[in-house]
């Protein structure tokens, strides 16, 4: 018999058509014809129901596939629909790559503008200006007569204290101007354009709705103000905001395709890919970008998205390369090439850097969150423009005299990562020339051998130490101001400085004590045994890891910078240590901390729910509360339903067979219910307040004089999720996370008992962690 | 009131202790004390319940955390427990790396043994033998007097047809010997050691139990026979089996830690990481390995596993490198360095290679599955030893005369990937010397410039073409024999040959027609515009992609081989095309096809469920079937329960309030029920056949003369998953996949209606795809 049932191919459809126990066609009958506009959509600052969205998409897809068998046009439609995802990815990659290139070029130009101007055309930056000049040699490629500092231009001389002060003042003036423009543009046109955007994007990707956050105004203003903010010399980077920019591009381009415009879940797949694109263009690391999206920002990341993200990240990286904003045909932001392998003993200083990174991360998060909370709660928050101007002025005044703080963060990191060759003229490579005696000892003159530090290097070390203290302090108050501000570059800069200092220290130690038992055997004179640049890189990774708690993606990004598997082990040792140390002080990364500060409903997918509560402890209503507000499938009038909806603020209502049995039939959303009733009252003949609301398939017989019933089975979700009251909360949390639920009904022995929402879970978690449960603001 | 409930921190625990509606402490009260041995475990060839396993682990963790506050010993235990995962990963990495190194060395030695022997010690392979000799120059490093071919050793001369035949026969002899040893060892000691193992590992990772598949015997025998099979010259690779070997290591090492030994879900996390380790040591590509595990084999891959896999993959790669089996300090199997960039127009041949790869993939899967099905159903399957010997003899006889089939697959690929420099003496680089006129035309003599093909190259091309045809045919019958056999290397070899042929063709076309409008501008004489090695690589990726349908991980593995982001675009274009073309012929990769052939219960996580059925169409019982077998929470006697269990073959039974109401209370597993009843009858006083079985918390009053009731609430799962009958199947399938369910109960308006299991879903899917639903063999 069973076999027959299977072989009967019509069985499944017939049983559905015939219905079960009198219940007929479900809500999924004709998905493409939305009966009423607005039904099935969400309000601003609300959480989406992933299951509903995915079902909608599958129904849509099924519809198109079925139609495609009927006509050629429909077939073409079906094919174009299948490839629209790839096309969208291509467009996102191209647009983001182009924007990132533009931002790079503009920021470079404006940054140079603070120091001087090009006489042959003000639109040339310093480097381009001197390219056109034939008089420059390779070594002095940044010194040419066409480029004049402001003092030179105004007073005619670039020497002397007066010219220095002149340049100093012009530097501060431009910095203030850029910062003022940035903050006023943000305030006037797109308040969402401030900050790094990653906390909000994480929240949006987890299924929250913030209208306008990824809109065109945000895109335009963020792009412009990002350039201004970076150029103003503030301690911030463009990497985080580039993720936001890429997500804005993706969101806007989604409007070109119905499939993505109308479906919140599908759109989030595209946004996940866009996050990968953002990191890809920020660092020139497509694989790292994809892993960043997977590890750090995404919530729902099916394999299809993995593949598409990778495609988009590559397109973006190659678009950026063909724009060639750095003028060196390199894909990556910091191209590093190390020549010496590292020794096992060096793991000790690397782990030390990891500990430093972890401590810095924990400290930074605490200090920054405390400062941001103060900004939110005190009068400080009322003067954002003034705050930005004061911080900019402070930064400019302190930064100018020190060449390591005056240069942009990316330049600083690039210089710190660099391995000194003999030709290098940088101050950091100010080693004493090697005495011939030492060289002859090993027979081979190694041009990269460790050398004793000279005066130039000692000066550089002092400047770096001061720069470290300054960067640490100013970054805390900068991140979170009302300008676009990324955190990657400042964090990396702090780590790179610390790493370089330690690296040079190790190098000198090894040089002067090369016969210590520790250094014996691998640090003979004339050998290149310590690479300070590698220490800088490890330090940068450790500090970034401490702040963001990224692990794999961070190591892969760094791997893509160097291109050598050799250096993965130091990077990994440092990031692992950094994460563990930072986790000991608090398990949240900076983005999660900001999400919590803003009260967004974000259910962290990484952390396990450890407490042993049961669902019955978390669900509503509590035992002392009034009973759950439910609708019955028949017997309630429109007026009664409206009264019930009015008297509560719930987003949805369970529908039961009867108040006595409390057996669950389905779930109906408040928004859908209100829209439907409203529409029926306006359009449907005879629907008045006394009309019965009917959720059953067949309307019950009604008296001839009674008004016709309002049938609402169409908006009833016949497959609500349920758990039993005895389900441990860890399982319930898992279900919420993995399926992306907004709410779930709780039953006991088959009877409806209560409801549990994402907000309830978050409040419960906050309570367990001894935090204020009311800090969760949204549904 | 609500606020009070939150602030009352005791609220949640008190409400649990007091119980709800008379139900008290749940099954999660004391998880560490397993009341009965066997309860909560699984039978062989059954599917695990992920949720149950994960809950068990969380309870265990909670217990340890709570105890850690009490004493220092417990605190240390808690810390060691937290770090045991990392320690285990370290051990897995070390052991797998060491084993892979041993396999490499042994296979190299045995492969050379087929050709000759080293006089200064038979344990040296050809290369090592000649290293010790001082007489060899760099160019002839593989020719030295210490190494003698068999003919030389026996007859004293290596010249002439007689010596050739002698060597030929010895080659066949050794090949047959190795193959015979391999197949008999597999048959005698570990039948699970055959094949690549990846289909089974995929199934195991998805939550299936195959006892002994990852045991110590499988490990030992697979390691030995893998060496023998590879050395026998059969068209197979060691990459797939290395994944199996790594998983065996992980499974065995899991026994050292209670946390992993006792928990099927936790163990699968380790196995996922081990799969990454396997690929990492196979190709020297740790990042690619992690992505392979994520994309291709894993089912449940939380972020914690991502990070740990990466760690283990790195440890393994570095262990392998320190063993240095290839003697070149390289991590990667095929180290490639290309010098010339590719041109946009070359995308056309790359896409052509993608189409070839896709066609090959589709063809190979069809042919191989047809052959394997024939093996299963006809008498062929009764003579596995004979089959292996015949195929080996065939391979050896045909392969020997052609140098490209005689060499091992890895060597072949390595040679095909290689970019010809002027110094290369390989036949593939048999170009004519460039005429000085051409060189002077460009001014600079490019040592890698395209040159006209010489006689050597033409011979090589013919041999390659023959090798291609041979490889295509022999691989189809080789994969699936009763020896360990991987598919990566043969597939890549096929693609590499095709790619190299096309590449050389393109090169010659460009050389002779450099003034065609297509080549104009980028292919001037004396320029190195076409790199045949790159074509070989792209072809290899395309063919491997066609067979396995890997995408991102494949591109990343290839990226790690070359180390240059430059070549990602060609690789990606080819793998994408290959996947699309192959998917057009059938959406299954070779591993999924083998899983289906074997009837394993594997729910593909990648594919969407497209059909529009409802859960009610798939659940049991069907409408014409007898009602669902349920237990009532009280009122049934032990005899009745036993009779019900005996009369059915179900793995579990729902427990309802009463037969009339059909309101669901919980779910009890058959195995747990039988063990508990059995145990009670043996040990518990007074439990006889007439005793009542009680699932409620409080036993009902019973007459003084009646036997005492058997209380079984302890084994009752009070939180079974339920869906409504109207739930669309795509949602139900999603729930099964994401939560890793084994079964789910189906309700209608709060009443229990049926049950749906993973097997039911798979049968339904088979039926939709017009396959035999009875091909799903296991639960």
> Does residue B37 lie within any of the structural domains?
no
Give Cβ neighbours of residue B696 (< 8 Å, ≥ 6 apart). Answer: B22, B23, B633, B634, B713
- The C-alpha atoms of residue A384 and residue A582 are separated, in whole angstroms, by 31
Domain membership of residue A681 (yes or no) is: yes
pLDDT at position A423 is 60
**Alpha carbon B105 to its chain's center:** 23
Is the residue at A529 inside a domain? yes
Q: Which residues pair with A710 in a beta bridge?
A: A693
Is the C-alpha dihedral spanning B225, B227, B233, B238 positive or negative? positive
Instruction: Tell me what the mean pLDDT of segment A628-644 comes to.
Output: 89
Tens of pLDDT, residues B80-138: 888 899 999 999 999 999 999 999 999 989 998 888 888 888 888 887 777 765 554 54
The sheet with strand A710-711 has its strands ordered as A636-637, A692-694, A710-711
Put simply, the answer to whether B295 touches A306 (Cβ < 8 Å) is yes
Does residue B146 share a domain with residue B247?
yes
Whether A6 and B773 have beta carbons less than 8 Å apart is answered as yes
pLDDT range class, residue A7, cuts 50, 70, 90: very low
Contacts of A773 in chain B (CB under 8 A): 6
CA distance B293 to chain A (A): 12
Three-state secondary-structure class, residue A431: strand
| Residue A332: closest C-alpha in chain B | B565
Q: Which residue of B has its CA nearest to A86?
A: B576
pLDDT digits (tens, 9 = 90+) for B761-775: 999 998 988 888 888
- What mean pLDDT do residues A552-563 have? 84
Among A323, A357, A385, which residue terminates a domain? A323
Instruction: Give the sheet arrangement for strand A652-656, strand by strand.
Output: A631-632, A652-656, A664-669
Residue at A69 is within a domain: no
Cβ of A63 under 8 Å from any chain B Cβ?
no
Residue B7 has pLDDT above 50, yes or no: no
Q: What is the mean pLDDT of residues A7-16?
A: 37
Cα separation of A89 and A333, whole Å? 23
Q: What is the pLDDT of residue B134?
A: 57
| Contact criterion met (CB < 8 Å) for B734 and A739 | yes
Interface contact flag, B613 A663, Cβ < 8 Å: no
What percentage of residues in chain A have a pLDDT greater than 70? 89
- Domain containing residue B374: CATH number: 1.10.3080.10
pLDDT of residue A612: 84
Least confident of A11-15, A608-612, B251-255: A11-15
Contact residues, chain A, for B605 at CB < 8 Å: 303
Give the number of other CB atoms < 10 A from CB of residue A668.
Answer: 24
Q: Are A484 and A229 in contact (CB under 8 A)?
A: yes
Chain B within 8 Å of A16 (Cβ-Cβ)?
A: yes
Residue-number span of the structural domain to which A698 is assigned: 615-775
- Tell me the C-alpha distance between A587 and A118, whole Å: 50
Residues B589 and B622 in one domain: no
Residue-averaged pLDDT of chain B: 84
- On whether both A189 and A281 belong to a single domain, the answer is yes
Residues of A in contact with B311 (CB under 8 A): 572, 576
User: Which of A452, A462, A447 shows the shortest CA–CA distance to A432?
Assistant: A452
Does residue A229 contact residue A483 with C-beta atoms inside 8 Å? Answer: yes
SS3 A382: helix
Instruction: Judge: A303–B290 Cβ closer than 8 Å, yes or no.
Output: no
Residues 252 to 281 of A: which have CB under 8 A from any B CB?
A: none
Does residue A465 sit in the same domain as residue A586?
A: yes
A 10 A CB-CB count for A135 gives: 10
Residue B221's pLDDT band, with cuts at 50, 70 and 90, is very high
| Helical ranges in A447-487 per DSSP H | 455-478
- Of chain B residues 164-223, which have a CB less than 8 A from chain A? none
In this structure, how many other beta carbons lie within 10 angstroms of the beta carbon of residue A336? 20
pLDDT digits (tens, 9 = 90+) for B606-662: 777 888 889 998 998 888 888 888 999 888 888 999 999 999 888 889 999 998 888
Please tell me the distance from the alpha carbon of residue B646 to that of residue A43, in angstroms, as a whole number. 55
Asked if A432 and A455 touch (Cβ cutoff 8 Å), the reply is: no
pLDDT tens string B296-305: 888 888 888 8
More confident residue, A193 or B689: A193
Q: Are residues B648 and B706 in the same domain?
A: yes
Q: What are residue A149's DSSP bridge partners?
A: A116
Q: Measured between CA atoms, how close is B457 to chain A, in angstroms?
A: 34
pLDDT at A290: 92
Rounded to the nearest integer, the mean pLDDT of chain A is 84
Q: Give tens-digit pLDDT for A477-495.
A: 999 899 999 999 999 999 9
Q: For residues A215 and A221, what is the distance between their CA atoms, to the nearest angstrom?
A: 10
| Partner residue opposite B2 with nearest CB, options A20, A28, A622 | A622
Q: Minimal Cα–Cα distance from B93 to chain A, Å?
A: 14
Tell me, yes or no, whether B380 and B275 share the same domain.
no
- Residue of chain B with shortest Cα separation from A28: B728
Picking from A1, A21, A572, the nearest residue to B748 by CB comes out as A21
Query: CB neighbours of B549 closer than 8 A, spacing ≥ 6?
Result: B361, B579, B582, B583, B588, B589
Helices B264-283 and B50-68 cross at an angle (nearest 10°) of 100
* Chain A residues touching residue B634 (CB < 8 angstroms): none
- Rounded CA gap, A348 and A345, in Å? 6
**Which residues in chain B are contacts of A666 at CB distance < 8 A?**
724
Of A330-339, A400-409, B194-203, B720-729, the least confident: A330-339
CATH number for the domain spanning A735: value is: 3.10.580.20
| Shared domain check, A348 and A276 | no
Residue B728: its chain A contacts at CB < 8 A? 26, 28, 55, 58, 719
Query: Are B677 and B543 part of one and the same domain?
Result: no
pLDDT at residue A22 in the model: 36
Segment A206-210 mean pLDDT: 91
User: pLDDT tens digits for A30-43?
Assistant: 333 445 777 778 88
Residues 689-748 of A with CB under 8 A from B: 718-728, 730-731, 734-735, 738-739, 747-748
Q: What pLDDT, on a 0 to 100 scale, did the predictor assign at position A96? A: 96
Burial grade of A304 (CB within 10 A; 0-12, 13-18, 19 or more): middle
Q: Which residues of A touch B737 (CB under 8 A)?
A: none
Interface check A330 vs B, CB under 8 A: no
Residue A246, domain member (yes or no): yes
> Does a structural domain hold residue B1?
no
The tokens 């009890």 sit on which residue? B668
Same domain membership, residue B353 and residue B317: no
Q: Is the pLDDT of residue A139 over 80?
A: no
Residue of A nearest to B617 (CA): A12
Separation in Å, CA B145 to CA A4, B122, B132, B133: 75, 14, 11, 8
**pLDDT value, residue A307:** 86
Q: Does A618 reach chain B within 8 Å, measured CB to CB?
A: yes
Quick one: A291 and A363 in the same domain? no
Q: Say whether both B401 and B548 belong to one domain.
A: yes
Condensed to tens digits (0 to 9), the pLDDT of residues A438-492 reads: 444 444 445 556 778 788 888 889 999 999 999 999 999 999 899 999 999 999 9
| Chain B, window 640-679: residues with a beta carbon less than 8 angstroms from a chain A beta carbon | 657, 661-666
Average pLDDT of the residues in B7-25: 37
Model ipTM value: 0.85
Choose among B556, B560, B625: nearest Cβ to A2.
B625
Asked if residue B346 has pLDDT above 60, the reply is yes
- pLDDT at A686 (0 to 100): 76
- The residue among A19 and A192 whose pLDDT is bigger is A192
Q: Is the pLDDT of residue A15 over 80?
A: no
**What are the tens digits of pLDDT across the range B588-597?**
899 999 999 9
Within 8 A of B306 by CB-CB distance, chain A residues are 294-295, 552
B653 forms beta bridges with B668
Q: pLDDT for A89-111, tens place per residue?
A: 999 999 999 999 999 999 989 99
| Interval A336-394: pLDDT, tens | 777 777 888 888 999 999 999 999 999 999 999 999 999 888 888 889 999 999 999 99
A719 to chain B: which residues are within 8 Å by CB?
615, 723-724, 726-728, 731
Contact A719, B728 (CB under 8 A): yes
Domains of chain B: total: 3
CB contact B569 to A (< 8 Å): yes
Distance between A663 CA and the closest CA of chain B, angstroms: 5
Does a structural domain hold residue B39?
no
List of residues 6+ apart from B372 with CB closer than 8 A: B480, B594, B597
Section B563-574 average pLDDT: 82
The average pLDDT across A607-624 equals: 86
Sequence-distant (6+) residues with CB within 8 A of B307 are A551, A552
Instruction: Please tell me the predicted confidence (pLDDT) of residue A520.
Output: 75
In this structure, the dihedral spanned by the alpha carbons of residues B583, B584, B586 and B589, taken in order and rounded to 10 degrees, is -20
Q: How many CB atoms lie within 10 A of CB B75?
A: 15
Q: Which of B9, B55, B727 sits opposite A730 (nearest CB)?
A: B55
**B466 has a pLDDT exceeding 50:** yes
Same domain? B234 vs B195: yes
Is the residue at A448 inside a domain? no
Contact assessment for residue A596 and residue A615, using Cβ atoms and an 8 Å cutoff:
no
Q: pLDDT grade, residue A434 (50/70/90)? A: low
């Amino acid at each position: 018999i069973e076999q027959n049932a299977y072989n009967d191919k019509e069985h499944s459809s017939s049983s559905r058509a015939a219905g079960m126990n009198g219940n007929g066609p479900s809500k999924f009958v004709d998905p493409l014809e939305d009966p009423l506009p607005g039904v099935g959509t969400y309000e601003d600052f609300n959480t989406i129901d992933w299951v509903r969205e995915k079902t909608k998409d599958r129904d849509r897809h099924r519809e198109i596939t079925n139609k495609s068998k009927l006509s050629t046009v429909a077939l073409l439609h079906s094919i174009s629909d299948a490839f629209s995802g790839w096309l969208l990815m291509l467009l996102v990659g191209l647009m983001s790559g182009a924007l990132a290139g533009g931002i790079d070029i503009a920021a470079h130009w404006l940054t140079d503008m603070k120091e001087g101007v090009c006489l042959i055309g003000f639109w040339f930056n310093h480097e381009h200006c001197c390219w056109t000049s034939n008089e420059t040699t390779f070594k002095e490629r940044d010194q040419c007569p066409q480029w004049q500092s402001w003092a030179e231009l105004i007073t005619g001389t670039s020497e002397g204290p007066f010219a220095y002060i002149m340049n100093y003042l012009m530097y501060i003036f431009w910095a203030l101007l850029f910062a003022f423009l940035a903050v006023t543009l943000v305030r006037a046109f797109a308040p969402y354009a401030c900050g790094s955007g990653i906390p909000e994007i994480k929240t949006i990707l987890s299924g929250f709705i913030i209208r306008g956050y990824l809109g065109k105004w945000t895109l335009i203003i963020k792009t412009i103000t990002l350039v201004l903010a970076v150029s103003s010399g503030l301690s911030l980077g463009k990497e985080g905001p580039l993720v936001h920019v890429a997500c804005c591009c993706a969101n806007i381009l989604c409007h070109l395709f119905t499939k993505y415009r109308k479906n919140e879940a599908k759109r989030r797949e595209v946004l996940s890919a866009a996050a990968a694109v953002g990191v890809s263009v920020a660092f020139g690391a497509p694989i790292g970008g994809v892993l960043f999206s997977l590890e750090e920002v995404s919530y729902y990341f099916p394999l299809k998205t993995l593949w598409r993200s990778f495609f988009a990240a590559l397109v973006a990286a190659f678009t950026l390369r063909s724009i060639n904003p750095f003028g060196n045909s390199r894909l990556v932001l910091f191209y590093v090439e190390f020549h010496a392998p590292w020794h096992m003993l060096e793991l000790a200083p690397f782990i030390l850097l990891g500990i430093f990174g972890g401590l810095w991360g924990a400290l930074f998060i605490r200090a920054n969150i405390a400062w941001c909370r103060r900004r939110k709660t005190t009068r400080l928050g009322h003067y954002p423009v003034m705050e930005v101007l004061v911080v900019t002025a402070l930064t400019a005044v302190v930064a100018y005299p020190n060449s390591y703080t005056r240069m942009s963060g990316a330049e600083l990191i690039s210089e710190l990562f660099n391995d000194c060759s003999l030709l290098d003229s940088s101050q950091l490579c100010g080693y004493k020339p090697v005495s011939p005696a030492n060289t002859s000892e090993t027979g081979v003159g190694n041009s990269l051998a460790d050398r004793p530090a000279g005066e130039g290097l000692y000066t550089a070390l002092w400047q770096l130490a001061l720069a470290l203290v300054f960067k640490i302090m100013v970054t805390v108050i900068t991140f979170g101001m009302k300008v676009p501000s990324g955190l990657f570059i400042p964090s990396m800069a702090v780590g790179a400085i610390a790493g370089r200092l330690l690296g040079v220290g190790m190098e000198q130690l090894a040089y002067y004590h090369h016969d210590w038992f520790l250094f014996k055997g691998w640090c003979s004179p004339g050998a290149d045994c310590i690479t300070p640049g590698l220490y800088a890189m490890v330090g940068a990774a450790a500090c970034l890891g401490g702040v963001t708690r990224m692990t794999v993606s961070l190591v892969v990004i760094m791997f893509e910078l160097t291109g050598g598997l050799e250096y993965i082990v130091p990077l990994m040792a440092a990031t692992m240590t950094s994460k563990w140390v930072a986790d000991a002080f608090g398990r949240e990364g900076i983005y999660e901390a900001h999400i919590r500060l803003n009260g967004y409903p974000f259910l962290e997918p990484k952390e396990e729910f450890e407490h042993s509560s049961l669902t019955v402890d978390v669900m509503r209503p509590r035992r002392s509360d009034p009973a759950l507000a439910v609708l019955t499938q028949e017997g309630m009038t429109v007026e009664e339903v409206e009264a019930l909806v009015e008297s509560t603020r719930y987003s949805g209502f369970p529908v039961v067979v009867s108040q006595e049995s409390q057996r669950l039939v389905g779930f109906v959303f408040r928004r859908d219910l209100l829209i439907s009733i409203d529409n029926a009252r306006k359009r449907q003949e005879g629907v008045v307040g006394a009309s019965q609301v009917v959720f059953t398939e067949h309307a019950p017989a009604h008296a001839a004089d009674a008004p016709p019933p309002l049938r609402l089975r169409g908006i009833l979700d016949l497959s609500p999720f349920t758990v039993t009251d005895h389900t441990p909360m860890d399982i319930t949390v898992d279900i919420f996370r993995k399926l992306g639920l907004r709410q779930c009904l709780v039953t006991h022995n088959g009877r409806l008992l209560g409801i549990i929402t994402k907000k309830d879970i978050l409040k419960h978690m906050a309570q367990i962690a001894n935090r204020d449960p009311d800090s969760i603001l949204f549904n």
